[in-house]
A and B are shown apart, each in its own frame.
Chain A
Amino acid sequence: MAIPRIAFIFAITAFLAGLGVATFSELRIFLPALLRGAVVTVQVSVLSIALFLLTAFVAGIARAFGTAPVRWSAAIFVEVFRGTSLLVILFWFFFVLPEFGVVMPPMVAAVLGIGLNFGAYGAEVVRGAVQSVPRGQTEASIALNMTQFKRMTRIIIPQAVVITIPGLSNLTIELIKATALVSAVTLTDITFASVQQNQLHYRTLEIFAITVLLYYCLAQFIRFGGGWLEDHFSRHLKPRSA
């Protein structure tokens, strides 16, 4: 299922690229700038996806199983970062924190802002998944005299991970789209590069078509990756073939 679709997307991409080069020979003027922007987008995406997953699991598990003070601080973190707009968070990290003596390069501000913002959304997904593991599993592992650490790492989390995959891969696609905002902290990503190139060359339709196509391809990686992970982790649920 996945492989024909990937081939299909590659075929379309190659076809459009060829068509573009053939039809609009100006493409070679602005394509390099757009691809440089794409590199920045990919860098920001990969780093913030790592931070997003880490934050989601730490905050989600803290909210579900922590002691009261841990639970409360996780809840406050989630509400603050979910309740404010991502753009405001990015601005705050980049322009306000220096006033308090914390100066960070734009890349760090972007990754922190996006990672923490989406981590707060992801924490709720993880919390829901962890809490939906049947209670009998916890009780059984207590009856088997497992330590709490072992109970979490061997019993609860492996079962919760499967449940989180669709939700988290949706959020990851949203995250990639949200990286379009990083021009607010002076990074030149695809979106900003396309606005710049548009002001230089006025080929709006072509430039934005390429931009949308690049985002679409990035999202496909996550969609297929998520599908593959889901298959991989839920193999034990499928009926065995003889």
Chain B
Amino acid sequence: MEWRWDFTFDVVLPRLWEAAGITVYATFASFFLALIGGLVLMLLKTAKNPVVSGIATELIELIRATPLLVLIFFLFFVLPEFGLTLPPLATGILAIAIYNSALMAEVYRAGLQAVPKGQWEAAIALNLSTYKTFRRIIIPQTLPPIVPALGNYLIAIFKETPLLSFVAVAEMMHAAKLIGSEYYRFTEAVTIAGLFFLVMSLVSAQLVRQVETYVKRSIQH
């Protein structure tokens, strides 16, 4: 069976283009949720109370040991039992966000721990307020190692969104599967979807690299 360009341009591209919007939306929504969730998990993990930090540590380990697909199915089937019926897209975004916040918590923690202890002591010695300590001393030193890692998670999340097709979210992979089963032609749809992911992740990897140099330069004056 040969490649059909008319089919590609008339059917595949318009429908995948529509679905690309959902993919990008799901990517950014779950990325921002995971940014916040990761921060919360990190704060819980580094809490003074050993019970709280112990529970947070085990929770992070459990989430990290679970495949994302299992987490998506789990939320998809379990949330309705607790009376919380969300649309598939929201459930999927929530699952990706939870999964990645466990991973991002470690990134935040590593970034904070990379700040030498002397910096904290110096800030106390100079009688800086807590706000000023974070704003002027700690966060500027935490950002350079964190930003590229978080950027890589953005790309990773982007490549995880096809999993949402398992719970019938109308993102790109789902659209490609639908086209394939409607016309019985998988070649064009799946290939174009693959190319789209390839191009998008190469472009965004380049963007992450630029943000990285920008952050480094703006902090080192």
A residues with a Cβ closer than 8 A to B are 79-80, 82-89, 91-92, 95-96, 99, 177-181, 191, 194-195, 198, 204-205, 208, 211-212, 215-216, 219
Query: What 0/1 pattern do residues 56 to 96 of B give for CB contact below 8 A with A?
Result: 00000010011111100110011001000000000000000
Residue of B66, B77, B161, B202 touching A212 (CB-CB under 8 A): B66
Task: Please measure, in the bound complex, the distance between the C-alpha atom of A124 and the C-alpha atom of B25, giving whole angstroms.
Answer: 30
B198 touches A (CB below 8 Å): yes
Interface window among B7-15, B126-134, B135-143, B184-192: B184-192
Given A87-B165, A96-B191, 16 other A-B residues pairs in contact with their CB atoms under 8 A: A82-B201, A83-B201, A83-B202, A83-B205, A84-B159, A87-B162, A88-B197, A89-B194, A95-B180, A177-B67, A179-B67, A180-B67, A180-B70, A204-B78, A208-B78, A216-B65
B193 touches A (CB below 8 Å): yes
Q: How many A-B residue pairs have CB under 8 A?
A: 96
Evaluate contact between B67 and A87: CB separation under 8 angstroms: no
Evaluate contact between A181 and B163: CB separation under 8 angstroms: yes
Residue of B nearest to A190 (CB): B70
Write out the residue numbers on chain B whose beta carbons fall within 8 Å of the beta carbon of A95: 180, 186, 190
Write out the residue numbers on chain B whose beta carbons fall within 8 Å of the beta carbon of A83: 197-198, 201-202, 205
Evaluate contact between B165 and A99: CB separation under 8 angstroms: no
Some 21 contacts from A to B, beta carbons below 8 A apart, are A83-B202, A85-B159, A87-B162, A87-B165, A88-B194, A88-B197, A91-B173, A91-B190, A95-B190, A96-B186, A177-B65, A180-B69, A181-B69, A198-B77, A204-B74, A204-B81, A208-B77, A211-B70, A212-B74, A215-B66, A215-B67
Task: Please measure, in the bound complex, the distance between the C-alpha atom of A84 and the C-alpha atom of B77, giving whole angstroms.
Answer: 28
Evaluate contact between B187 and A191: CB separation under 8 angstroms: no
Task: Please measure, in the bound complex, the distance between the C-alpha atom of A226 and the C-alpha atom of B209, giving whole angstroms.
Answer: 31
Q: A91-B176, A191-B73, A208-B70 are in contact. Are A84 and B186 (CB under 8 A)?
A: no
Write out the residue numbers on chain B whose beta carbons fall within 8 Å of the beta carbon of A80: 198
Task: Please measure, in the bound complex, the distance between the C-alpha atom of A212 and the C-alpha atom of B58, giving whole angstroms.
Answer: 14
B1 touches A (CB below 8 Å): yes
Chain B nearest CB from A147 CB (Å) reads 38
B residues with a Cβ closer than 8 A to A are 1, 62, 65-70, 73-74, 77-78, 81, 159-163, 165, 173, 176-177, 180, 186-187, 190-191, 193-194, 197-198, 201-202, 205
Evaluate contact between A88 and B78: CB separation under 8 angstroms: no
Q: At the interface, is chain B mostly helix, strand, loop or mixed?
A: helix
Write out the residue numbers on chain B whose beta carbons fall within 8 Å of the beta carbon of A79: 198, 202
Chain B nearest CB from A85 CB (Å) reads 4
Evaluate contact between B173 and A85: CB separation under 8 angstroms: yes
Residue of A nearest to B158 (CB): A85
Task: Please measure, in the bound complex, the distance between the C-alpha atom of A99 and the C-alpha atom of B160, giving whole angstroms.
Answer: 26
Write out the residue numbers on chain B whose beta carbons fall within 8 Å of the beta carbon of A219: 65
Chain A nearest CB from B21 CB (Å) reads 17
Residue of B1, B77, B159 touching A86 (CB-CB under 8 A): B159
Chain B nearest CB from A82 CB (Å) reads 8
Task: Please measure, in the bound complex, the distance between the C-alpha atom of A85 and the C-alpha atom of B197, giving whole angstroms.
Answer: 7
Residue from A85, A96, A178, A211 having most chain B Cβ neighbours under 10 A: A85
Write out the residue numbers on chain A whose beta carbons fall within 8 Å of the beta carbon of B162: 85, 87-88
Residue of A88, A177, A179, A195 touching B193 (CB-CB under 8 A): A88
Chain A nearest CB from B154 CB (Å) reads 14
Chain B nearest CB from A71 CB (Å) reads 18
Evaluate contact between A96 and B67: CB separation under 8 angstroms: no
Chain B nearest CB from A220 CB (Å) reads 9
Residue of A nearest to B198 (CB): A83
Residue from A198, A204, A211 having most chain B Cβ neighbours under 10 A: A204
Write out the residue numbers on chain A whose beta carbons fall within 8 Å of the beta carbon of B186: 91, 95-96, 99
Task: Please measure, in the bound complex, the distance between the C-alpha atom of A205 and the C-alpha atom of B80, giving whole angstroms.
Answer: 12
Residue of A nearest to B160 (CB): A85
Q: A85-B173, A95-B186 are in contact. Are A191 and B70 (CB under 8 A)?
A: yes
